[in-house]
Structure 1
Amino acid sequence: MANKSRSAQRKKLRQVYRNKRRALSPLAQRRASISLARMLIANPQYRRSKNIAAYLASDGEIDLSILFAHACRARKIIFVPMLDALGRMRFVRYKPGDALGTVHKGFAAPARGKPGSRHLRFDLVLMPLVAFDNKGNRLGRGGGHYDRYFSSMAVPGKIAPLLFGVAHALQQAPGLEAAPWDVGLDAVATDRGIQYFRGVQSRTPCTVEN
């Protein structure tokens, strides 16, 4: 019964915060995108990162296209998620201007993209979310794709990628109850600033080959 109640509460929260971001005007969305891009471009973790996992915005998510343009000029490599034939999340390389396929279960991806290996390694991950709190807890869409993918990287002795949640500031919740399988965030980047958790401000991302 407790699990049912928790599930219902999380479902309700998702609806509340999805509605909040959907209600933003095109101008507000644009301003948020510009503000976020400026902060991330100046961020030392972003600047030191070579391989970056990100996302293509949908459903009112904060848009990263301005950041992608900078990343391309800076010769960084961008990957975005897609679902393979078995419904598992994989990442595919993306460049600004790539033709996009239809949005499938919330994932927009390049039309000709082919899912990469599960063993891709990233320096920085920019994760979309529905809501977050001030302890680094993240509420996603409910599919568990990001939790499954990045929990497999939490191996003792290995340096995991930096996990940055990305959202509009209005998506901050008073407090979220983390489920046992939820992957915590190292930081949250919004249009109003970057909030760190786990003391990662000075951590240097590890650049590894794909």
Structure 2
Amino acid sequence: MTTNKTITSPIKSDADIQDALMSNPPRRYFTRQRRKLSAQERRQFANQARVYLNKLNARLPSRAKIGLYYDGFGELPTQPILDWCLKMQFLPYLPVVGSLGQHDKRLRFVPIFQHKLINIPTRIHNLGMKQNHHRRLLWADELDVIFCPLTAVDSFGTRMGMGGGFYDTTLAKSYRARAKKPLKIGWCYDFQRTATLVRAPWDVPLDAVISPSGLRWF
């Protein structure tokens, strides 16, 4: 695990927010490490992480609705999450951006009917991510679990996202309401786990993170 440490002083103004964000490790620090991995190494790390998915089973209802995502930018592969869903007869979903207009950042989720992510017909969003389209869309609070992509996560569940703000916007309402679902779980390499990140006012923390070295609840 990396041991980057950052300032944790309270954030009170726009200037404080900007200073706080600049005090976090830059995203490229982590994305460069992801790009160095071969496809075989990514699959190996994903297979190490997948064994910890079973530790979630006792917390979930039968036919649980699970949100996952395409790993299109060198992230820890998410196919093992889909494999786990199919094995446990959970219902997997993928996020859709812009279903309510290009300026709406709230994600909605489309069901997966394939056994392999690579076989799902997709379109490339203008931000570069793959996404599927379907008329049966769910809101985030209708899911039991959402696996959230991330650049880094700290020991308190603070998540450094990909920079678009989609997941923080999507999950803000349920987080403020202290809703029990969806559980917000990170899925990442061990080098993406760091000691401390500054949490900005809009950041929605994770409930847990799974990496090749284990499952940690916050």
State the distance in 1 between where 2:136 and 2:72 align: 20
Taking structure 2 as the reference length, the TM-score comes to 0.79
1:24 corresponds to? 37
2:49–2:213 CA contact under 8 A, matched in 1: yes
Q: CA deviation at 1:120?
A: 4.9
CA gap of 1:102–1:157, structure 2 versus 1, over 3 A, is closer
Cα deviations by residue, 1:59-94 (Å, 9 ceiling, x for unpaired): 111111133133124321111112113243222112
2:207 corresponds to? 186
Taking structure 1 as the reference length, the TM-score comes to 0.81
Q: CA deviation at 1:45?
A: 4.8
State the distance in 2 between where 1:127 and 1:149 align: 11
2:53 corresponds to? 40
Q: For 1:187-206, what aligned pairs fall within 5 Å after superposition?
A: 187-197=208-218
Q: CA deviation at 1:159?
A: 2.5
**141, 165, 175: which one aligns with 2:162:** 141
2:53–2:84 CA contact under 8 A, matched in 1: no
SS in 2 for 1:149: helix
**105, 108, 113: which one aligns with 2:130:** 108
1:86 corresponds to? 102
Cα deviations by residue, 1:1-59 (Å, 9 ceiling, x for unpaired): 4433334445x521111111121121210101111222213433576461011111111
1:40–1:46 CA contact under 8 A, matched in 2: no
CA gap of 1:18–1:119, structure 2 versus 1, over 3 A, is closer
2:209–2:215 CA contact under 8 A, matched in 1: yes
Figure out how many residues of one structure are paired with residues of the other and give that number: 195
Q: CA deviation at 1:123?
A: 1.0
2:184 corresponds to? 163
SS in 1 for 2:130: coil
2:113 corresponds to? 95
Q: Which runs of 5+ in 2 are unaligned?
A: 1-14
% identical aligned pairs = 24
1:123 corresponds to? 144
Q: Which runs of 5+ in 1 are unaligned?
A: 198-210
State the distance in 1 between where 2:202 and 2:136 align: 24
State the distance in 1 between where 2:16 and 2:170 align: 26
CA gap of 1:27–1:138, structure 2 versus 1, over 3 A, is same
CA gap of 1:151–1:21, structure 2 versus 1, over 3 A, is same
